[in-house]
Structure 1
Amino acid sequence: MSPNQIGFALLYLGLFLIIGKWIRVRVKWMQNLFLPSSVIGGFLALILGPQVLGKLLKPITGEGSFWATGVLTPEVMDVWSPLAGLMINVVFATLFLGTVLPNLKKVWNVGGPQLAFGWSLGWGQYVVGLLLAIFVLVPFYDMPPFIGALIEMGFEGGHGTAAGLQGTFKELGFAEAYDLAIGLATVGILSGVIIGIIAINWAVRKNKTKVISDIKESSPLKKAGIMEFENREAAARMTVRPESIEPLSLHFAMIGIAILVGYGILQGITWLEKTIIGSEFMTYVPLFPLAMIGGILVQMIATKFDKTEILDRQMVMRIQGFALDVLILAAIATVSLDVIGQYFVPFLLLSLVGMAWNVFGLFFLGPRMIPSYWFERSIGDFGQSMGITATGLLLMRVADPEMKSPAYEAFGYKQLVFEPFLGGGLVTALSAPLVFQFGPVPFLIFAAVMLVIGLVGGLFYFGRMKE
Structure 2
Amino acid sequence: MTPNQIGFALLYLGLFLIIGKSIRIRVKWMQNLFLPSSVIGGFLALILGPQVLGSIMENVTGEDSFWATGLLTPEIMNVWTPLAGLMINVVFATLFLGTVLPSLKKVWNIGGPQLAFGWTLGWGQYVFGLLLAILILVPFYDMPPFVGALIEIGFEGGHGTAAGLQGTFEDLGFAEAYDLAIGLATVGILSGVIIGIAAINWAVRKNHAKTISDVKDASELKRAGIVEFENRDAAAKMTVRPESIEPLSLHFAMIGIAILVGYVLLEGITWLEQAIIGSDFMTYVPLFPLAMIGGIIVQLIASKIDKADILDRQMIMRIQGFSLDVLILSAIATVSLDVIGQYLVPFLLLSLVGIIWNVLGLFFIGPRMIPSYWFERGIGDFGQSMGITATGLLLMRVADPEMKSPAYEGFGYKQLVFEPFLGGGLVTALSAPLVFQFGPIPFLIFATVMLAIGLLVGLFYFGRMKS
TM-score (norm 2): 0.99
Does structure 2 conserve the Cα–Cα contact (< 8 Å) formed by 1:207 and 1:213? no
Deviation at 1:327, TM superposition (A): 0.2
Give the whole-Å Cα distance in 1 for the aligned partners of 2:37 and 2:367. 33
* Partner residue, 2:347: 347
User: Which residue is equivalent to 2:25?
Assistant: 25
Provide, for residues 297-335 of structure 1, a one-character-per-residue CA deviation record: whole Å limited to 9, x for no partner. Answer: 000000001000000000000000000000000000000
> Residue by residue, what CA displacement relative to the aligned partner does 1:108-164 show, whole Å, maximum 9, x if unpaired?
111111100000000000000000000000000000000000000000000000000
CA distance in 2, matches of 1:212, 1:14: 35
* 1:215 Cα deviation from its structure 2 partner: 2.9
**For residue 184 of structure 1, what is the amino acid of its counterpart?**
L
User: Which residue is 2:134 aligned to?
Assistant: 134
| 2-structure distance, mates of 1:455, 1:15 | 46
One-letter amino acid of the counterpart of residue 58, structure 1? E
Deviation at 1:212, TM superposition (A): 2.3
CA distances 1:69-128 after superposition (whole Å, capped 9, x unpaired): 000000000000000000000000000000001111111111111100000000000000
2:193 matched to which residue of 1? 193
Instruction: Give the aligned partner of residue 335 of structure 2.
Output: 335
Query: Which residue identity does 2:408 align to in structure 1?
Result: Y
Q: Tell me the matched-pair count.
A: 467
CA distance in 2 between counterparts of 1:23 and 1:57 reads 24
Map 1:221-260 to 2 at 5 A.
Answer: 221-260=221-260
Distance in 2 separating the partners of 1:275 and 1:348: 43
Report what 1:172 is aligned to. Answer: 172
C-alpha separation in 2, matches of 1:404 and 1:269: 44
Gaps in structure 2 of 5+ consecutive residues: none
The separation in 2 between residues aligned to 1:413 and 1:450, in whole angstroms, is 20
Question: What's the counterpart of residue 462 of structure 1?
Answer: 462
Amino acid at match of 2:369: M
Correspondences of 1:236-315 after superposition (within 5 Å)? 236-315=236-315
Are the equivalent residues in 2 in contact too, given 1:90–1:320 (CA < 8 A)?
Answer: yes
**In 2, Cα distance between equivalents of 1:145 and 1:183:** 18
1:38 aligns with 2:4: no
Following superposition, the deviation at residue 219 of structure 1 comes to 1.2
Q: Deviations over 1:408-429 (max 9, x none)?
A: 0000000000000000000000
Name which of structure 1's ranges 56-65 and 127-136 shifts more when overlaid on structure 2.
Answer: 56-65
Q: Would you identify which runs of 4 or more consecutive aligned residues in structure 1 move more than 4 Å?
A: none
- SS of the residue corresponding to residue 217 of structure 2 reads coil
1:397 aligns with 2:391: no
1:159 is aligned to 2:147 = no
CA RMSD of superposed structures (Å): 0.7
Paired AA for residue 120 in structure 1: T
Q: What's the counterpart of residue 150 of structure 1?
A: 150
Cα shift at 1:216: 4.3
Using the alignment, how far apart are the partners of 1:136 and 1:197 within structure 2? 32
Give the distance between the partners of 2:211 and 2:232, measured in 1 at CA. 24
Counterpart residue number, 2:115: 115
Aligned residue number for residue 426 of structure 2: 426
Q: Deviations over 1:152-201 (max 9, x none)?
A: 00000000000000000000000000000000000000000000111111
Q: Percent identity?
A: 86
1:66 is matched with 66
**SS of residue paired to 1:461:** helix
The answer for the alignment partner of 2:202 in structure 1 is 202
Structure 2 matches for 1:52-91, cutoff 5 A? 52-91=52-91
**Post-superposition CA distance 1:391-450 (Å, at most 9, x none):** 111111111111000000000000000000000000000000000000000000000000
Query: Is the 1:126–1:149 contact (alpha carbons within 8 Å) kept by the matching residues of 2?
Result: yes
* Structure 1, unaligned runs of 5 or more: none
Q: Letter of the aligned partner of 1:186 in structure 2?
A: T
1:265-309 CA-partner distances (Å, limit 9, x unpaired): 000000000000000000000000000000000000000010000
Equivalent pair of 1:163/1:331 in contact (CA under 8 Å): yes
TM-superposed CA distance for 1:61, in Å, is 1.6
Post-superposition offset of 1:213: 3.6
Alignment correspondent of 1:326: 326
The separation in 2 between residues aligned to 1:466 and 1:200, in whole angstroms, is: 22
Q: Which amino acid aligns with 2:157?
A: G
Aligned partner letter, 1:261: V
Q: Distance in 2 between matches of 1:334 and 1:214?
A: 37
Q: Which residue of 2 aligns with 1:453?
A: 453
Q: Deviations over 1:193-233 (max 9, x none)?
A: 00011111111111112222433421111111111111111
- State the Cα distance separating 1:263 from its structure 2 match: 0.2
| 1:380 correspondence with 2:405 | no
TM-fit CA distance, 1:29: 0.6
The TM-score normalised by the length of structure 1 is 0.99
Distance 1:398 1:83 in 2: 31
**Retained in 2: the 8 A contact 1:155–1:387?**
yes
* Equivalent-residue separation in structure 1 for 2:370 and 2:104 (angstroms): 19
Shift of 1:255: 0.2
Q: Give the Cα separation in 1 of the matches to 2:80 and 2:215.
A: 39
Report the AA paired with residue 303 of structure 1.
S
State how far apart, in whole Å, the 1-side matches of 2:278 and 2:174 are: 24
Alignment of 1:214-225 (within 5 A): 214-225=214-225
Question: Deviation at 1:63?
Answer: 1.3
Distance 2:242 2:203 in 1: 49
Amino acid at match of 1:465: M
2:410 corresponds in structure 1 to 410
